[in-house]
């Protein structure tokens, strides 16, 4: 299926290379000194956490912890993708669309 930018352009994007070593580039800013769990725990709405399986910034263990602590958290992980999925492929777009539509149905 064609991507949002057309097949040929999407195929040329190597998502795995979008954030190589991003955590290393951020240095001390990417460590555990900032505790956002209190803020995360205050989220009450359904939440879709998108994670690239190759992320340097959002370890799988943290994503799983987010899922366990959140009231209605769905975790979507994309293989071969760095920190932030670009939402350019149909499987990524459908994941988000399905989440939004399901959430709307539950809330109506």
Q: Any residues with CB less than 8 A from the CB of 73 and at least 6 apart, and which?
A: 46, 47, 48, 49, 66, 67
Measured distance CA(40)–CA(65) in Å, rounded: 11
Measured distance CA(34)–CA(32) in Å, rounded: 5
Q: Which CATH number fits domain 7-107: 3.30.70.1230, 2.160.10.10, 3.40.50.1820, 3.40.50.300?
A: 3.40.50.1820
User: pTM higher than 0.85, yes or no?
Assistant: no
pLDDT of 99 reads 95
pLDDT tens digits, one per residue of 36-59: 899 999 999 999 999 999 998 899
pLDDT of 1 reads 37
All residue ranges of the chain with pLDDT < 70 are: 1-33
The answer to whether 82 touches 56, Cβ cutoff 8 Å, is yes
């Amino acid at each position: 299926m064609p991507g949002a930018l057309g097949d040929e352009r999407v195929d040329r994007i190597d998502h795995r290379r979008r954030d190589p070593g991003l955590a290393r580039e951020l240095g001390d800013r990417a460590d555990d000194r900032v505790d956002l769990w209190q803020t995360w725990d205050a989220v009450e709405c359904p939440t879709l956490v998108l994670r690239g399986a190759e992320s340097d910034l959002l370890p799988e263990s943290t994503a799983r912890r987010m899922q366990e602590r959140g009231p209605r958290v769905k975790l979507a992980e994309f293989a071969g993708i760095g920190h932030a999925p670009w939402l350019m492929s149909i499987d990524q777009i459908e994941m988000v669309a399905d989440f939004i539509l399901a959430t709307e149905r539950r809330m109506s």
